[in-house]
Amino acid sequence: MIPTRQVLLAALFVWLAAVLQGRVAHAIAFRGAQPDLPLVVLSSSALLVGSLRGSLLGFWAGLLAASSFPAAYGSVFASRIVAGAFAGSLGSSLIRSNLLVPPLVTLAATMLAESIGTLIAPSFALHHSRRWLIGTGEEVLYNTVLALPVYLGLRLCRIGQLRDDPFGHRL
């Protein structure tokens, strides 16, 4: 059983990532590619807390993302919930001791979130498909690169179940 304190701590990190997204993410953009920090924190923490709590974290991340960008309210909101639930469901089915797991889960969660957002609001992808593909590809790559340090940071904060996670014991 994961203590509520850990979920609240993960929610605090999601909020912090949403705050930093507006200033820091733009400053660390590489050749126009910009990470989605709240999504990275969401997928990494959902991997540690499971599907149900991952959905809750996704709801919180979606609320923050939709509030800071209300023009695409529903699509952004729903995509974060599904991404959180998806990453959380992988937590119980994957061995998290492998260093490749957090980046791969973040990669899949980002692609899923972008796909859902595009399915609900397809205008940009339809009219600017090449730009959408490049932009999404860059974001997916950047998120994947950031996933491991974020995951390690969350583990250092004792988020997740240590007994299920051999990788966590080594920290």
Binding site for other proteins (CB under 8 A): 15, 18-27, 32, 34-36, 51-52, 55-56, 58-59, 62-74, 76-78, 81-82, 85, 114, 117, 121, 123-124, 127-128, 131, 135-136, 139
CA 155 from centre of chain: 15
Contact 10, 57 (CB under 8 A): yes
Residue 114 Cβ, how far from other proteins at the closest point, in Å? 8
H-assigned helices in the chain: 4-21, 24-27, 37-49, 51-68, 73-93, 101-120, 123-127, 129-156, 166-169
Residue 116 Cβ, how far from other proteins at the closest point, in Å? 11
Q: Which amino acid is at 8?
A: L
Residue 169 Cβ, how far from other proteins at the closest point, in Å? 30
Nearer to other proteins, 139 or 168 (CB): 139
Three-point CA angle 87, 101, 23, nearest 5°:
65
Nearer to other proteins, 17 or 167 (CB): 17
User: What does the alpha-carbon distance between residue 91 and residue 101 come to, in Å, rounded to a whole number?
Assistant: 10
Nearer to other proteins, 27 or 100 (CB): 27
Residue 60 Cβ, how far from other proteins at the closest point, in Å? 10
Contact 76, 70 (CB under 8 A): no
Nearer to other proteins, 5 or 128 (CB): 128
Which of these, 147, 54, 139, lies nearest to 99 by C-alpha position? 147
Residue 23 Cβ, how far from other proteins at the closest point, in Å? 5
Nearer to other proteins, 25 or 159 (CB): 25
